[in-house]
Each structure stands twice: as C-alpha cells, then as structure tokens.
C-alpha cells in the first residue's frame, strides 16, 4: 500500500430479508480474455458487458501500451482494434497490473513469442504472488525472463525470436497458466499441446475457437490435451460478457443465510466449470433454481433464483476445487451458518491468491467465534446454524474476496462484522456495496 492509498474499513450488520432482482457485473475471467484476444485479432472487436473494475482496466491499459486501439464507448461497451498475432509493439513503459494476477499472467503468455521486451509489475500484493509457474513453461517456447528471487514481480520478459512448438503437462491446476501457454502458442509455427490433469476453467479454449484459432481439445483418460496450431489469423468477433458467477456468489450466499430472503440474479454464467459453488450449496440443502437457461457467446447463462435455506454441512469433493477455487472463502461463510461440519480439501491453490486465503479465512472465522481447523490443503468448519456470534474485526490482507465474504457473514451474524479494509473490492466488484444495499443489506463505514 502506498502513502497515497488509505484503508477503507467497512462494517456489515444483521439485516432484514434480502429482496429484489439484480444483475451482477460482467465475468472477470471473460473480460480479461476478451481484451487480450481482441488485441491479438485482426480488425475491430466490439465487447459488451465488460467488467469495468480495476483489474480489467489494467489489462485494457496494457493492451493499449502494446499497440492495440482500445476505446470505451459507454458503460460496459468497448471496441478493440487489434494488432494481430505477433503484432504487438515494444511498450514505452512498464506494464503495471495493479492487483491483477490474471491480467499479468495472461499477458506474459501473449507477449512471450513476439520479439519484444516487456517489464511487468504490480501492487504490493501482486509482487508477492508466484510467477515462476508461468515464466518457467514459457521458456520452453524460447522466451527468457529476469525476475526477483522465486520468480516474483517485477519481471522482464524477452520474447522468443524463433519460437518452436511445445508439448507441456501442467504441474498445477491453473487456468491462468494454461491460458498463458495457449496465447504463446498462437505465434509459433506448428502445433503446440498443453495437457492438464485436472479440468480448469475453459473460457480461453471457447473464446479461441470463436476467434477462429485452430484449436482441438482431446480427452485422454483423466487428462485433457488442448492443441493449438500457430500462425493462424484470429478474426474479430463480437463478445458479450455474461454475469460473473464469482461475484454472484456473495449476494447468493447472503440470501441463503439471511432469514426470509428471496432474490433473483440475472444473466449469470453457468459454464459447468464455474458452477461448483451452486452444486455444493445445493448438496447442503440450498433452495436454488435456475430459470431461463440459454446460450450466449459460447457459454451457458441463466437467471438464478435463491431463497433462504437451512443448510447442512457436507464433505466437499477435492476434485471440485478447480470449478470453484475463488468461491471457497464465501462457502466457508455459508458453512458457518450450516448445521454440522463442512470439510473442504484440495485447496493448496488458495495459498497463492491475492493473500493466503486459507489462513485469512480461518483467521476471519475464528475472530467471529466460529470453530474451524486449517490444514495445509483445506479447511474444516463447525457449523453453528444461526448462532454465529460475529463481532470480530477481519484482516483482509488486501484481498477483495476476503473482504466481501466476511461482509456477507455480518448480514446474518448476531453481532456486526468489520473488515479492516474494503478499498480493494473495486478491483473485481466496484458495485458490490450499492448492489447489496439495493437488496436490503446493511453495509457501511463503521
């Protein structure tokens, strides 16, 4: 945090029933990818519903610095005139991605096979996050990188002058790493194959196909092989960004734990690799109904009706983690209001998010009177029904999802819940507070 930045403590108090229909912001994962792929395409790409949050705006600025013509025409409506695959310019300055690990990692891939030199940096939180998992595999294409010890930002990448195709098996289940490698493969002669052992978000594969890339996805037993033939010209195509299920997770969970609530979340993405939270909460007894299910831009969307429910603790299958990795903090809050024990495993990736989210969630639960056990790869929460004491102050560690999760807790806890800083919520969900207040939530400055 710089001297010019100030903490913004927030407090959430026990609320009356939440009611109403709302549309959550555009999906962050799709927004990042839309900007990058449009910048790599030939021609002008219209993008509607773009998430205009800090993280995504950093990616838009980076694409401008790399030579794409990026213009905002109104709320959520943008156009990008691309530079083409291999057409990025040498940027005149460092690319600063703020708090956005997604934007930084994906852009590293996009520049790795173009012969330019690009320096990446970010805020204090992003400079602590691991990047070796990306720059290591990118070296297989011929790119080189200078980084701080352990592969930390700032990082300077020198794009490969004569890149060659690769076959690489991912060592971590990460859609960001997979996507970076697929973007790098676009400017490589021949066919590159990326193999993942556990299914992760497939937005990149779907969007590459829509932009005209030569991409094939093959199931090989428990593994999936994604192959891209490089030096193909990407064609511009309209992108409609659906509602972000990771943002929808907060009002959805709030409606489940605040008695007599009933809300409708409109136009939410229902990609099967993003609905792990809905599946898990349904298994816990949540009253969630999908209405008006339909296709949009290669993905499934629908309207999600949520009613207050009495939840029961369960054991969440570890193989579900990639489909809901960002939602575990708010799932832990839901588990606190369930009856019985909820066990979550396979969560090592939460240790290297904007914060050590496992440690931050466990500390936040304990500060509010909830018994939990933190393990190296997971968390066990002892549900208290509607006897969650609250009254604690939660350290957010500059992590937007920790802040929003515990503000959600405060709406149903017996005593108010305070988070030490809510300023970073704007990186992913700038409308969070007004949207929640429109439903009847009591969130304000302490």
Kind and range of the H or E run holding 203: helix 203-210
Query: Catalytic site residue 326?
Result: yes
If you ran DSSP here, which 8-state letter would residue 26 be given? B
228 in helix, strand or coil? strand
Judge if the upstream peptide bond of residue 154 is cis by omega within 30 degrees of 0: yes
CA 146 to chain centre: 26
CA distance 121 to 300: 35
Helix axes 175-185, 101-111, angle to 10 degrees: 20
Greatest CA span in the chain, whole angstroms? Answer: 63
d(CA 289, CA 278): 10
What gap in Å lies between CA 227 and CA 182, rounded to an integer?
8
Distance (Å, rounded) from C-alpha 436 to C-alpha 240?
24
Query: CA-CA distance, 31 to 70, in Å (whole number)?
Result: 13
Catalytic residue among 326, 356, 420, 421: 326
E-assigned strand segments in 297-395: 299-307, 315-316, 339-345, 372-375, 378-384, 393-394
Return d(Cα 54, Cα 100) in angstroms, integer.
8
Q: Token pair of 384, please?
A: 């208290």
Rounded-to-5 percentages of helix, strand, coil across the chain: 35, 30, 35
- Between CA 171 and CA 39, with CA 161 as vertex, the angle to 5 degrees is 75
Q: Report the residue count for the chain.
A: 446
Catalytic residues: 326
């Amino acid at each position: 945090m710089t001297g010019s930045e100030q903490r913004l403590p927030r407090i959430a108090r026990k609320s009356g029933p939440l009611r109403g229909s709302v549309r959550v912001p555009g999906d962050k994962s799709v927004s990042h990818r839309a900007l990058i792929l449009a910048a790599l395409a030939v021609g002008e790409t219209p993008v509607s519903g773009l998430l205009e949050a800090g993280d995504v705006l950093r990616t838009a600025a980076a694409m401008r610095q790399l030579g794409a013509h990026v213009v905002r025409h109104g709320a959520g409506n943008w156009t990008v005139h691309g530079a083409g695959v291999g057409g990025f310019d040498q940027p005149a300055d460092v690319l600063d991605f703020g708090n956005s690990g997604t934007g930084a990692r994906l852009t590293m891939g996009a520049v790795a096979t173009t012969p330019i030199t690009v320096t990446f940096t970010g805020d204090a939180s992003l400079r602590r996050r691991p990047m070796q998992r990306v720059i290591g595999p990118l070296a297989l294409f011929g790119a080189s990188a200078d980084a701080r010890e352990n592969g930390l930002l700032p990082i300077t990448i020198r794009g490969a002058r004569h890149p060659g195709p690769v076959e690489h098996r991912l060592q971590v289940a990460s859609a960001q790493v997979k996507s970076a490698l697929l973007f790098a493969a676009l400017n490589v002669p021949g066919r590159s194959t990326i193999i993942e052992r556990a299914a992760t978000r497939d937005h990149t594969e779907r969007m590459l196909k829509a932009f005209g890339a030569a991409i094939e996805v093959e199931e090989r037993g428990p593994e999936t092989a994604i192959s891209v033939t490089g030096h193909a010209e990407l064609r511009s195509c309209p992108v409609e960004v659906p509602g972000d299920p990771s943002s929808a997770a907060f009002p959805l969970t709030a409606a489940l734990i605040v008695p007599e609530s009933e809300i409708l979340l409109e136009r939410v993405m229902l990609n099967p690799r993003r609905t792990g939270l809905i599946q898990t909460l349904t298994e816990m007894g949540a009253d969630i109904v999908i209405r008006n299910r339909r296709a949009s831009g290669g993905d499934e969307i629908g309207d999600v009706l949520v009613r207050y429910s009495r939840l029961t603790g369960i054991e969440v299958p570890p193989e579900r983690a990639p489909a809901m990795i960002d939602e575990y903090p708010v799932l832990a809050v839901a588990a606190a209001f369930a009856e019985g024990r909820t066990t979550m495993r396979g969560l090592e990736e939460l240790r290297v998010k904007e914060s050590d989210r496992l440690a931050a969630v466990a500390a936040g639960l304990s500060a509010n009177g909830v018994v939990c056990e933190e393990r190296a790869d997971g968390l066990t929460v002892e549900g208290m029904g509607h006897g969650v004491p609250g009254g604690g102050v939660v350290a957010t560690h500059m992590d937007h999802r920790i802040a929003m999760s515990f503000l959600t807790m405060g709406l149903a806890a017996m005593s108010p819940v305070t988070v030490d800083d809510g300023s970073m919520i704007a990186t992913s969900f700038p409308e969070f507070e007004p949207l929640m207040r429109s439903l009847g939530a009591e969130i304000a400055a302490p």
